[in-house]
């Protein structure tokens, strides 16, 4: 009996294993909704994103941008359009439309630029968020064309605010972790409502590619700068007319400003507001108004919203004496040294047990000046970046005198550093701080800060 039942069951297997009849495929309601869904916030925002390029149409884009006004105004980075020939660029949309664009304004200090195109019909602009500080952890999307991958989107969160790129760039960046790579520059960083929180601009100077730290110019600054660029082509900004580097306490002490921090004037531009106010090379600027200055970017930040002709109170120290100068600002030329000079660094002395008086350079007197004739391999002078032909204008704020006087002054000076004022052909004047003690050598690392920056994306 059991055997017959088993055999009967086995006989049914072909029927059980036979394929089921195929019925006509149908879509349920959820499938239909997916197929005919409404465009997402990203889809809608991408319609306002553009690529910007110079070369042939098939070339990879040089950067990105987005529509800021229906009439055809495009916002991007100044460095994206820096190589435009005759201020002409190619502007392309995701739907295939391509226009010839004209760069109508740029502000190298903030790295913002405006391009105008002539569309056949009104464009759809993106709206700026009322404030970029939406809160840490806010979800964000970076829209652009990285590495030739046109009209891409990456996602992340807001990671921080008021970030610096280097010691000279006067922008307090919004930090996020949406991936940015070359080609993303100028593209918008949007929130989940499609509002622009910032203009994607750079990754940290240590890398050109994504490392989870991305920087965007905040919407508030964009809202202040772009209208003026569109109307006048430039920002009418005040200027002091100096080139500066950071003066930490050791440098300040060597120049008679013990216990202070500020900006050391390397050069006063002829005819500038600073020159007319009697400011001098070697002065240490402590503050503009109530704003204290520590890095080169602090000076630019303090003047970012200023206007030519405005009077500012400048607190400075000259030869150890504090003074306040009322200075009527001149007109800024943003193309002249807009990145400023990053604070200089000092070097290890040869003898780390105590005083070091060997800089590793030989000097001579030429036409009344002290000139560096040669620089030894591996010496302080070489490590710091002194070059043959450099002229020494001052040591700790004092003229060097003849060669014997220079050697005597260096051999007898106290303090942790010797501050040399150098003049170099093609570079003007600047300051170099050489360590004189073991403590100074440990606290002040060698290095050439020309690596700041390798350049934004």
374's CB contacts (< 8 A; 6+ apart) are 361, 362, 388
SS3 394: strand
| Nearest C-alpha neighbor of 266 from the set 248, 287, 243, 286 | 243
Euclidean distance between CA atoms 115 and 91, whole angstroms = 9
Please check whether residue 51 is in contact with residue 99, taking contact to mean a CB–CB distance below 8 angstroms: no
266 is catalytic: no
SS3 331: strand
Instruction: Kindly name the residue from 132, 152, 159, 185 that is annotated as catalytic.
Output: 185
Euclidean distance between CA atoms 404 and 158, whole angstroms = 59
79 is catalytic: yes
Euclidean distance between CA atoms 375 and 398, whole angstroms = 23
Instruction: Kindly name the residue from 48, 79, 176, 272 that is annotated as catalytic.
Output: 79
Euclidean distance between CA atoms 65 and 50, whole angstroms = 5
Please check whether residue 77 is in contact with residue 83, taking contact to mean a CB–CB distance below 8 angstroms: no
Give the single-character DSSP code of 450.
G
Reading the block at residue 62, the tokens are 């040089």
Please check whether residue 70 is in contact with residue 446, taking contact to mean a CB–CB distance below 8 angstroms: no
Reading the block at residue 198, the tokens are 């910032």
Reading the block at residue 359, the tokens are 């800089």
Instruction: Kindly name the residue from 62, 111, 266, 283 that is annotated as catalytic.
Output: 111
431 is catalytic: no
- E-only strand ranges, 29-97: 49-53, 63-69, 73-76, 88-93
Active site residues: 79, 111, 185
């Amino acid at each position: 009996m059991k055997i017959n039942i088993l055999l009967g069951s086995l006989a049914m297997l072909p029927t059980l294993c036979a394929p089921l009849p195929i019925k006509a495929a149908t879509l349920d309601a959820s499938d239909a909704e997916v197929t005919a869904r409404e465009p997402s916030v990203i889809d809608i925002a991408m319609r306002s994103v553009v690529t910007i390029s110079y070369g042939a149409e098939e070339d990879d884009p040089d950067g990105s941008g987005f529509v800021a006004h229906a009439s055809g105004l495009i916002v991007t980075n100044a460095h994206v359009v820096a190589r435009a020939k005759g201020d002409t660029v190619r502007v392309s949309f995701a739907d295939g439309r391509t226009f010839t664009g004209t760069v109508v304004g740029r502000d190298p200090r903030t790295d913002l630029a405006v391009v105008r195109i002539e569309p056949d019909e009104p464009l759809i602009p993106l709206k700026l968020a009322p404030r970029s500080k939406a809160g840490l952890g806010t979800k964000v999307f970076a829209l652009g064309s990285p590495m030739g991958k046109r009209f891409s989107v990456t996602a992340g969160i807001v990671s921080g605010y008021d970030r610096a790129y280097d010691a000279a760039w006067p922008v307090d960046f919004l930090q996020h972790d949406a991936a940015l790579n070359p080609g993303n520059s100028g593209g918008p960083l949007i929130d989940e409502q499609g509002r622009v929180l910032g203009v994607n601009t750079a990754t940290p100077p240590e890398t050109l590619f994504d490392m989870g730290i991305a920087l965007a110019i905040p919407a508030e600054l964009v809202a202040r700068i772009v209208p003026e660029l569109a109307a006048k082509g430039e920002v009418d900004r005040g200027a002091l007319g100096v080139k500066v580097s950071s003066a930490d306490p050791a440098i300040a002490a060597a120049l008679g400003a013990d216990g202070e921090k500020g900006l050391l004037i390397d050069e006063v531009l002829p005819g500038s507001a600073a020159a007319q106010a009697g400011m001098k090379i070697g002065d240490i600027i402590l503050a503009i108004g109530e704003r204290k200055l520590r890095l080169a970017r602090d000076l630019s930040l303090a003047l970012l919203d200023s206007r030519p002709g405005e009077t500012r109170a400048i607190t400075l120290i000259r030869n150890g004496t504090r003074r306040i100068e009322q200075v009527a600002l001149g007109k800024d030329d943003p193309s002249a040294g807009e990145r400023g000079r990053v604070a200089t660094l000092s070097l290890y002395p040869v003898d780390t047990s105590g005083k070091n008086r060997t800089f590793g350079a030989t000097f001579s007197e030429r036409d009344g000046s002290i000139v560096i004739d040669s620089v030894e391999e591996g010496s302080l002078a070489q490590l710091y970046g002194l070059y043959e032909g450099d002229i020494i204008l001052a040591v700790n704020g004092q003229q060097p005198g003849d060669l014997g006087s220079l050697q005597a002054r260096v051999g007898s000076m106290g303090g942790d550093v010797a501050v040399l004022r150098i003049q170099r052909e093609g570079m003007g004047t600047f300051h170099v701080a050489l360590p004189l003690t073991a403590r100074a050598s440990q606290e002040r690392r060698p290095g050439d800060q020309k690596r700041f920056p390798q350049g934004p994306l």
